């Protein structure tokens, strides 16, 4: 008893944790059952109709025959010819007798399909002789009913044949129609219907089994998304919390630098601290940007500006790092039409692109050029650096993607910069593309629509 309760409790627990199973079970049971009942109903209606049709056929046949026969009751030869003719033209008629009332359940055979019966007395079963009594009492009605003999189903019809020349009604006919053929066909149809139903049910179960798996995947996906969301929340929260102590570190480092009494060695250490703090700050900034962009929480304050000012400012800020690597850095600022941009985000985009160009160019130059065409301003950041293969270009703008080879091995980075850049550019209604040849250099091309009404 305890075991059964245990199993039950475990079952309930399983269903609680996997509610989709109820839905699946419901479908697996309900849909086949619905199919089963519909088919049953259909077959029953079809069989009822068939029986009604047989009943009507007997009635019609007997009504018509009674009119002919009523005039020829004194001429059994003609009646016999009629009976045989009708039997030969109507499949399934296995017995056709014209009988005259006798004593009790015994009747005189006037005409019969069965050889050797004519002129003899026969006995009818109780039901038939009773119905014959009714029929003779109601000469314009026919009586039809179903019976079984030797495993075969028959319909028997009884109707009086009123004599047109006398008012005495003492003659009637019995017609038996075998349903063997109809029943064989019906049985075949039913078998076929159930076979089809079986196949359909199997198909449905198969489909549902797949569906159940899809539901499992969907549940798993929903859970993964939940966990992913939790992870993003945690990362955003942690990055935010890291900012405050980092600001404190940078503040004290700055104070130390301003103060007197630091040895040359100490100043070097302090510069390292400051450099690491700046790097950490930019990493935290990237992480926070990713989480904001992902959740659509990053706000953009658009103003119509000539981008050259920001580009000049960014290029100037990279003069030192370029010099440190003995790279030439060029930008020729000529006025551009105004573009609707968020200056801070656009600056960030330019910092990422120029910064990468310097970072991934061991020797040569980095050049920023601009072009106005077809109502768009294009800004191209070109370098003569290591380049990116066509295959890698496909994945370049994915989050965390970094090209991995001997050259990039020693260069640190997170693979977030280009993803952030792409998202920001898209938010500012711009596009970004890349053209690069491995070993020769790379061009990143930004394109923004010119502010309407300010086209030059
Ligand atoms: P990170 O620089 O932090 O690795 P990014 O998203 O800015 O991340 O860049 C992704 C990758 O694209 C880099 O790791 C680098 O391999 C490649 N890349 C970006 N800019 C250039 C460039 N100008 N030249 C060559 N490779 C580049």
The alpha carbon of 213 and the centre of ligand 1 are apart by a number of angstroms equal to 40
386 lines ligand 1 (CB under 6 A): yes
Q: Are strands 365-373 and 328-331 parallel, antiparallel or unpaired?
A: parallel
CB-based contacts of 67: which residues, under 8 Å, 6+ apart? Answer: none
396 lines ligand 1 (CB under 6 A): yes
Report pLDDT for 121.
93
Tell me the best of 387, 398, 417, 434 to mutate to test the pocket of ligand 1, counting ligand atoms within 8 Å of each CB and taking the most: 417
- Specify the residue with its C-alpha closest to ligand 1, atom 8: 415
Report pLDDT for 278.
87
Instruction: Determine the atom of ligand 1 nearest the C-alpha atom of 381.
Output: 23
The alpha carbon of 430 and the centre of ligand 1 are apart by a number of angstroms equal to 20
Which of 43-47, 77-81, 122-126, 426-430 is most confident? 426-430
Do residues 174 and 94 make contact, with C-beta atoms less than 8 angstroms apart? no
The alpha carbon of 327 and the centre of ligand 1 are apart by a number of angstroms equal to 18
The alpha carbon of 402 and the centre of ligand 1 are apart by a number of angstroms equal to 6
List the one residue out of 58, 56, 53, 115 whose CA is nearest residue 84. 115
Report pLDDT for 32.
72
Distances (CA, A) of 14 to 19, 20, 22, 210, 227: 8, 11, 11, 20, 22
Strands, E, within 88-192: which ranges? 93-101, 106-112, 121-123, 142-149, 152-160, 171-178
- Specify the residue with its C-alpha closest to ligand 1, atom 19: 356
Tell me the best of 327, 357, 415, 424 to mutate to test the pocket of ligand 1, counting ligand atoms within 8 Å of each CB and taking the most: 415
Q: 331: which strand partners?
A: 368
Give 108's pLDDT tier (boundaries 50, 70, 90).
Answer: very high
420 lines ligand 1 (CB under 6 A): no
Tell me the best of 385, 396, 409 to mutate to test the pocket of ligand 1, counting ligand atoms within 8 Å of each CB and taking the most: 396
Structural tokens at position 361: 């160019």
Model confidence pLDDT, tens digit, residues 122-154: 999 999 999 999 999 998 899 999 999 999 999
Tell me the best of 360, 392, 401 to mutate to test the pocket of ligand 1, counting ligand atoms within 8 Å of each CB and taking the most: 360
List the one residue out of 176, 128, 132 whose CA is nearest residue 150. 176
Which secondary-structure segment (H or E) carries 445?
strand 441-449
Distance CA 157, CA 54 (A): 10
Whether the per-residue pLDDT at 454 is higher than 50: the answer is no
- Specify the residue with its C-alpha closest to ligand 1, atom 21: 356
The alpha carbon of 407 and the centre of ligand 1 are apart by a number of angstroms equal to 12
Give 453's pLDDT tier (boundaries 50, 70, 90).
Answer: low
383 lines ligand 1 (CB under 6 A): yes
Instruction: Determine the atom of ligand 1 nearest the C-alpha atom of 418.
Output: 6
Q: DSSP for 238-251, please give it.
A: HHHHHHHHHHHHHH
CA 42 to chain centre: 31
Do residues 297 and 337 make contact, with C-beta atoms less than 8 angstroms apart? no
417 lines ligand 1 (CB under 6 A): yes
Query: What mean pLDDT comes out for the span 229-244?
Result: 84
pLDDT averaged over every residue in the chain: 89
DSSP state of 451: P
Cβ-in-10-Å burial (0-12, 13-18, 19+) of 208 comes to buried
- Specify the residue with its C-alpha closest to ligand 1, atom 23: 357
364 lines ligand 1 (CB under 6 A): no
Query: What mean pLDDT comes out for the span 346-374?
Result: 96
Distance CA 69, CA 62 (A): 10
């Amino acid at each position: 008893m305890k075991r059964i309760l245990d199993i039950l409790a475990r079952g309930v627990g399983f269903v609680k944790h996997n509610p989709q199973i109820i839905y699946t079970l419901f479908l697996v049971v309900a849909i086949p059952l619905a199919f089963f009942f519909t088919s049953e109903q259909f077959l029953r209606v079809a069989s009822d109709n068939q029986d009604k049709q047989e009943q009507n056929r007997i009635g019609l046949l007997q009504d018509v025959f009674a009119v002919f026969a009523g005039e020829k009751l004194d001429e059994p030869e003609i009646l016999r010819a009629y009976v045989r003719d009708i039997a030969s033209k109507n499949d399934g008629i296995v017995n056709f007798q014209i009988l005259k009332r006798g004593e009790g359940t015994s009747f005189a055979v006037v005409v019969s399909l069965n050889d050797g019966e004519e002129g003899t007395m026969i006995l009818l079963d109780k039901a038939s002789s009773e119905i014959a009594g009714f029929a003779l009492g109601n000469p314009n009605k026919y009586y039809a009913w179903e019976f079984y003999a030797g495993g075969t189903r028959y319909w028997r019809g009884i109707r009086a044949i009123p004599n047109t020349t006398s008012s005495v009604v003492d003659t009637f006919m019995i017609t038996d129609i075998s349903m063997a053929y109809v029943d064989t066909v019906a049985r075949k149809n039913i078998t076929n219907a159930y076979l089809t139903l079986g196949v359909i049910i199997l198909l449905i179960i198969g489909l549902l089994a797949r569906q159940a798996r899809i539901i499992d995947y969907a549940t798993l996906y929903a859970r993964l998304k939940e966990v992913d969301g939790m992870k993003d929340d945690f990362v955003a929260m942690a990055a935010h919390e890291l900012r405050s102590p980092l600001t404190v570190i940078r503040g004290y480092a700055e104070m130390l630098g301003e103060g007197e009494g630091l040895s040359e060695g100490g100043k070097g250490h302090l510069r390292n601290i400051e450099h690491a703090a700046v790097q950490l700050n930019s990493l935290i900034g990237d992480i926070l940007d990713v989480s904001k962009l992902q959740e659509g929480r990053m706000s953009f304050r658009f103003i119509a500006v000539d981008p050259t000012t920001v580009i000049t400012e960014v290029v100037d800020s990279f003069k030192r790092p370029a010099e440190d690597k003995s790279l030439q850095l060029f930008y020729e600022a000529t006025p551009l039409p105004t573009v609707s941009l968020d200056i801070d985000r656009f600056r960030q985009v330019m910092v990422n692109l120029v910064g990468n160009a310097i970072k991934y160019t061991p020797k040569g130059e980095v050049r920023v050029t601009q072009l106005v065409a077809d109502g768009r301003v294009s800004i191209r950041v070109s370098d003569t650096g290591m380049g990116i293969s066509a295959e890698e270009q496909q994945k370049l703008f994915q989050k965390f993607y970094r090209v991995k080879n001997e050259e990039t091995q020693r260069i640190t980075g997170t693979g977030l910069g280009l993803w952030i850049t792409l998202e920001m550019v898209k938010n500012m209604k711009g596009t970004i593309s890349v053209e690069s040849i491995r070993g020769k250099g790379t061009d990143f091309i930004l394109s923004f629509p010119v502010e309407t009404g300010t086209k030059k």
